[in-house]
Amino acid sequence: MKRREFLKTAGVATAAAAAVAAPAIAQSAPEVKWRLTSSFPKSLDTIYGGAVEFAKAVAEATDNKFQIQVFAAGEIVPGLAAADAVQNGTVEMCHTASYYYFGKNPTFAFGTSVPFGLNSRMNNSWLTIAGGGDLLNEFYKGFNIYAIPAGNTGCQMGGWFRKEIKEVADLSGLKFRIGGFGGTVLQKLGVVPQQIAGGDIYPALEKGTIDGAEWVGPYDDEKLGFYKIAPFYYYPGWWEGGSTLHNFINIDKWNSLPPAYKSVVRSASAYANEWMMAKYDQVNPAALKRLVSNGAQLRPFSAAILEASYKAANEVCAEMSTKYPEFKKIYDSMVAFRGDEYLWWQVAEYTNDTFMIRARARG
């Protein structure tokens, strides 16, 4: 959906308001100016661009009466402090990955992705239709946050390594840039996880502070230049099968908005969610070809590594479910949903895609 097409839908509230007396219009469409801090640098034009597209859509749908100024990571607060800035009221909202705040409470991971969790379409369905979003907002309320999905990267890559990772034993002692839940799982396999913001990963790889790093996928990874230092490029990123980005909004600021503006924010967030996924699907294939032509050595994780990781992920989830009742509540919802979804995908989506992939390989 293009932004102007979205505006036709989002503008319904505005059109309805036109039939109301002038004083009521003035009350329902006030001048509002917010600041949004992103967790990402401007150079990552897709993941950062989701916030820009969102802000443009809000402005256009309200005839510029509701303006949201977007700031890149570091311009107001560091990328990994975006949620804190919303929580304490430094800014009205942020565009971020919920799992960055895994350290506050592991339940934050469900807002983005958990190891061997949901793919992008499943995440959208669970969060918007199947109750996942309501469960998360019940949790986020304790942190003064209201959250709306506003982007998705699709299934991510498994990262860049200086050396080949052939066996589970090769992970032992490896200093690997990875955030939150995925790092906790890999820790069980001997990895030493490092949480580093996107803009700081290349220098850490260059200095040898870390042995490998994961980010998103070919398009963003190419921009960050990882292939120049760590040539082995692994897949899939099983810790992020369909990572969702969110708009985190200070709950008092959200509650202060007129209903029409809340509707616009929801619609603009949905547009940003669609835009980001579509953009990544467009740009990743060509970027992957360029990376390989520039020396990147594409490798799949072995079945043994995937099985060991899956076992470790289930163990971590069981441990977290025991310690955090809120984690268990959301995890149980996601697992039940995942079971039914993969039953359906096995019948239709996977069968169709597998045939087409084989047909392409045959030429």
Q: Are 211 and 161 in contact (CB under 8 A)?
A: yes
Mean pLDDT of the chain: 93
Confidence tier at 237 by pLDDT (50, 70, 90): very high
Classify domain 3-152+241-282 by CATH number: 3.40.190.170
- Residue pLDDT, tens place only, 101-117: 999 999 999 999 999 99
Q: What pLDDT sits at residue 128?
A: 97
Q: What is the pLDDT of residue 16?
A: 43
Mean pLDDT value of segment 246-265:
98
Q: Would you state the pLDDT for residue 17?
A: 43
Pick from 248, 223, 290: nearest CA to 140: 248
Tokens of 351: 């069968």
pLDDT band at 13 (very low <50, low <70, confident <90, very high): very low
Closest listed residue to residue 178, CA positions, set 213, 142, 221, 127: 213
8 Å CB contact between 214 and 177: yes
Return the number of other C-beta atoms located less than 10 Å from residue 167's C-beta: 12
Provide the residue ranges of all domains of the chain, joining segments of one domain with +.
3-152+241-282
Give residue 295's region: left, alpha or beta (phi > 0; psi -120 to 50): left
- pLDDT of residue 5 exceeding 70, the answer is no
User: In the structure, what pLDDT confidence band is assigned to residue 6 with cuts at 50, 70 and 90?
Assistant: low
- 120, β-bridge pairs: none
Give the pLDDT band of residue 195 (cuts 50, 70, 90): confident
CA 342 to chain centre: 21
Strands annotated E in the chain = 32-38, 66-71, 93-96, 145-152, 159-161, 175-177, 192-194, 212-213, 232-235, 244-250, 297-300
Q: What is the pLDDT of residue 179?
A: 72
Residue 314 to residue 154: CA distance in whole angstroms: 22
Question: pLDDT at position 165, please?
Answer: 97
- Is the pLDDT at 23 greater than 80? The verdict is no
Q: Which two tokens stand for residue 281?
A: 């699907």
Q: Assess contact for 164 and 170: CB atoms under 8 A.
A: yes
Residues in the chain: 363
Tell me the DSSP string of 232-250. EEEE--TT-SSPEEEEEEE
Q: Give the separation between CA 295 and CA 228, rounded to whole angstroms.
A: 8
Number of alpha carbons in the 13 Å side-chain half-sphere of residue 217: 29
pLDDT, tens only, 59-68: 999 999 999 9
